[in-house]
Amino acid sequence: MTATLALIAHDRKKDELVDFVLQYQAIFSRYRLIATETTGQQIQQGTNLPIEQMLSGQQGGDIQIAAQVAEGEVLAVIFLIDPLFSKLHEPDIQVLQRICAIHNVPLAINIATAEAILEKLRHSRVAHLIFNPVAGSGNGNQDLSLIRQLLKPHMHLRVYQTTADESAEELTIKAIETHPDLIIASGGDGTISAVAGTLIGTQIPLGIIPRGTANAFAVALGIPLALTPIRSACQVIINGNTRVVDAAYCNQKPMILLAGIGYEAETIDKASRDMKEQWGALAYLIAGWKQLNEQQLFEAEIEIDHEVYQLTCAAITIANAAPPTSILAQGKGEVIFDDHLLDVTIGTINTNPQQLVNNPKLQAVTTMINMLGAALIKTSPDLPNVYHLRTSKIKVTANPPQKIVVDGEMIGTTPVEIECIPDGLTVFVPGNNGSPK
């Protein structure tokens, strides 16, 4: 069901409705509220709750609310009527009564029936969905309709759609202020990361419905993506199995996946939106292959636990979580996302200069194949030109300065400082057997 409540009151009942909303403000604050104009103004003044105001009852505001009921946008209607002294200009309950009866929507006409509705709402789950309509290559409207269809029977769902003027972070902050039971992010890794980053430390569970190109965080958590990813992800949320995982901050910005310095950042930068729309995940492989010919070595200064190390590198990847397909994060064959540590993988120059000169691309490809294989079987690749370590905090400076990509988004250039946030997020995940229970 949608998370919207409609409020109307005859003139002599408006103060009574304001007092009622004030009494149950903690519950009302979790829902989108709509009301006829004068009623909405008085409730907003008396409670400071945001109210979407329709026209006045005299001008047809009750008809506007009835239309939203008919469209399935209203969870319940509270219409405090004055049976003895109602005036001719006040809205008639008959239209709303008929529409609510047709669409099986609860309608309260006095405080006693309103309390019954509120008591039921007290025990209901309220979910806020942050939805990116332009994510992936599918039809956003169809995806949203399917998500509503799958989740509405199990929770009261309030939907926010990202726009050019309102980001996923801003919408998540709005959602947090209403104290929801869970927040769901639907989009690519950028949208998922933005919502998750805003939720760090809040203990509000995060549901993930991946609709992007790589969907790396969903893969890292084991959320099934084959055949029907939206249905599978929704079922994971419905099942309600959660897990506490780590998060991180990179240059004070939230990070849930990984930071890439050097080769990976250049590869992401080369994979344009047009490439991703045309080739999907293959766009990263195409861009990465091109970058093999262009990647330059750089001098890196790495500070860990007040110790400073100097290395000549082609790539540095610092991961909080990563799927096997994030090859450059697999220095140990597996990134552990709840060990309170960051996985640092450093690709250096080959110890055999002649091999580097003769066929650098072959060497790079061989290294990546070995790292992918190690990730799939979760063993260390044990390569002479790949170093791995785990730490809770790291600082990297590069000469010349290198581009940095964080969770698939370019954020600038080095230096960079990254710190793990232990147990920073609660996420919905499949059952222990890797599939929804």
Active site residues: 62
Q: How far apart are CA 38 and CA 10, in angstroms?
A: 10
89 labeled part of a ligand binding site: yes
Q: In 301-318, which positions are buried (b, 16+ CB within 10 angstroms) versus exposed (e)? A: ebbbeeeeeebebbbbbb
435 labeled part of a ligand binding site: no
List CB contacts of 29: < 8 A, sequence separation 6 or more.
Answer: 49, 178, 179
List CB contacts of 319: < 8 A, sequence separation 6 or more.
Answer: 257, 258, 259, 326, 329, 335, 342, 343, 344, 345
128 labeled part of a ligand binding site: no
Q: Are 78 and 108 in contact (CB under 8 A)?
A: yes
Among all chains, which residue has been given the structure tokens 């260390």? 380
Residue 337 corresponds to which tokens in the numbers above?
Answer: 């996302």
154 labeled part of a ligand binding site: no
DSSP one-letter code for 58: G
61 labeled part of a ligand binding site: no
Closest by CA to 301, choosing from 399, 414, 397, is 397
Residue 95 corresponds to which tokens in the numbers above?
Answer: 């239209």
- In this structure, the dihedral spanned by the alpha carbons of residues 189, 190, 194 and 200, taken in order and rounded to 10 degrees, is 40
CB burial of residue 110 (10 Å; 0-12, 13-18, 19+)? middle
Q: How far apart are CA 344 and CA 387, in angstroms?
A: 8
Binding-site residues for substrate, in ranges, read 10, 14, 56-57, 89
Binding-site residues, in ranges, read 10, 14, 56-57, 89
